[in-house]
Structure 1
């Protein structure tokens, strides 16, 4: 926190204290009612903060998920327009954003760590050109990747040395399917 932020916080604290103090002074004959109203507003404030903090979990739980229909894997389009999928990689669930523009499967450093790679020990010899510029990448091999009834072994992937919000499911994986289509807001993979 820098000096300007500290000054702003102090100013807002003093302003809030002045408003609360003047309200209590103006209603000193009804302190019981003031305390009751303050408790109600405090609970409303805590509820709003809790809902905002948990919104990602709540929306993920009520949003449609990937499903299996016969030999097809169906991924619904998310509210942000992307398609997301969870794969079992080396025994660990990893969330991916489907990226047909990515030539490879690209792992974040956190996901790489979770599935058993030590990102600090990898050799970043490759270069990827992204919308954010060039980043170094390290080649890895995924022992086992499972999506629904389909398990693939020895899949090549890369670990991105730069910052990424989520791992990318690119064409080295998507190309294993016989058919890829987008219909009625659904991304459909079939073998």
Structure 2
């Protein structure tokens, strides 16, 4: 603890003592009630401080998010509470959230995500058939012109648009194989170029 921190701590202790002393002197007729109120406020204060101190841990558990290592072309993705890994990519200027699926051979967009990135889904030819865990689905081939993940930019990525209902877009191996190393362990996935 340096001298500035020590001086701030002493100041805060003195200020707290003066306020507490004033409060007790002003309410000396009801000291039992005053002590009870002081204890409640003290617990509220401790709870707020604990919440602030634990906020980053709470945020990572409730809504984990990807992080980038500057200049290293490395992305770290925490495992979500449902056990999956999610990556948000910028596709042609629009953020799209994908579930990482190493069992999928392709990048597959839902119709809703395809619409958001500017693809006219009504005029696509759904002539391809993909075999999924839920059976066969019809898909249409598209090109994603500009795909960005942090500092990493890929141009002209092949993808498919699923003609059927799908909850989330899938980030499959046609994109993931562009990374030289993928590590999964310790509750996180690390992608390195």
Any unmatched runs of 5+ in structure 2? 1-58
Q: TM-score, normalised by structure 1?
A: 0.67
Q: For residue 71 of structure 1, report the CA deviation from its aligned partner.
A: 3.0
Q: How does 1:150-165 map to 2 (within 5 A)?
A: 150-165=152-167
1:89, distance to aligned residue in structure 2 (A): 0.3
RMSD: 1.8
Quote the offset at 1:92 in angstroms.
Answer: 0.2
Q: Which residue of 1 aligns with 2:168?
A: 166
Aligned 1:49-64 pairs, distance under 5 A: 62-64=62-64
Corresponding residue of 1:127: 129
SS at match of 1:173: helix
Equivalent position SS for 2:189? strand
Q: Secondary structure at the match of 2:112?
A: helix
By how many angstroms is 1:133 displaced?
0.9
Contact 2:138 2:162 in 1 (8 A): yes
Contact 2:62 2:81 in 1 (8 A): no
Render the CA deviation track for 1:38-72: whole Å, top value 9, x for unaligned.
Answer: xxxxxxxxxxxxxxxxxxxxx89942210012431
Q: Does 1:112 align with 2:114?
A: yes
Q: Tell me the matched-pair count.
A: 134
Q: Deviations over 1:114-154 (max 9, x none)?
A: 00111111001100011111110000000000001100001
Distance 1:80 1:150, change over 3 A: same
- Large movers: runs of 4+ above 4 Å: 59-62
Stretches of structure 1 lacking an aligned partner (at least 5 in a row): 1-58
Alignment partner, residue 65 of structure 1: 65
Q: Rg bigger for which structure? A: 2
Partner of 2:141: 139
